[in-house]
Amino acid sequence: MINQKAGTLYFIPVTMGEDNITKVLPFEVINIAQQLNEFIVENEKTARHFLSVIKHRKPIRELVLKPLNEHTSDKELPALLSSLLTGKDVGLMSEAGCPGIADPGAKLAALAHQKGIRVAPLVGPSSILLSLMASGLNGQRFTFLGYLPTDKTARIHQLKEIEKRSKLQETQLFIETPYRNQHMLEDILSTCHGETRLCIACNISCSDEFIVTKRVKEWKAQALPDLHKKPTVFLLLA
């Protein structure tokens, strides 16, 4: 049951680059963000920059920004919703892309539902869905796995399991910390079968966007793209 006295928690997508605000975000999303005075954010510096770029109607220093990141404990979550329970609308923003997907926003959304607070997702770029759309791989059955293990032995083992699962015609999507992307790519190419299809989707929705699908043996036969420190989604289908 929705609490009619509570405000709305808007999940506000942000761009994944700095040069494409109007190309990627609908006017209505920008308009809603410009009207909010309080935000729950993954990264305060990134959030302030985004709000400045969209020309928020208030001075940025007057806005309330509350952090929600991997260091936020579950016991801290109720305080983040306090303004909503008094009737104020609040925006939630990830560092990039859509909040609630592969970030701490999901826990806050779950708590908001428990308290009867309306959660309103706004339209914007999701690297996961955009990469799947453009990959040419199976878009009817897919699994997003998040981050793979940092330990090389464990990562190689999981890559083998992922490839095996993809043989059921289920596209497997996963990501890596940007500075380890090149190592991930090398591990994929050294582990997976030559006929397995690999899509590399890098800097999605940015001016230098790179989304290419080839078989592993074809990737190994050419110069590899430079993925260092560039947000990248990897997709596998055997």
Ordered per-residue pLDDT tens for the chain, 238 residues: 888 899 999 999 998 876 677 788 999 999 999 999 999 999 999 999 999 999 999 999 999 999 999 899 999 999 999 999 999 999 999 988 899 988 889 999 999 999 999 999 999 989 999 999 999 999 999 999 999 999 999 999 999 999 999 999 999 999 999 999 999 999 999 999 999 999 999 999 888 999 999 999 999 999 999 999 999 999 999 9
Q: Phi and psi for 7 in degrees, rounded to 5?
A: -80, -175
Residue with tokens 């999303």: 29
Six token digits for residue 133: 């759309």
- Which three-class secondary structure state does DSSP give residue 223? coil
Q: Starting from the edge strand earliest in sequence, which strands make up the sheet with 38-41, in order?
A: 64-67, 38-41, 90-93, 8-11, 118-121
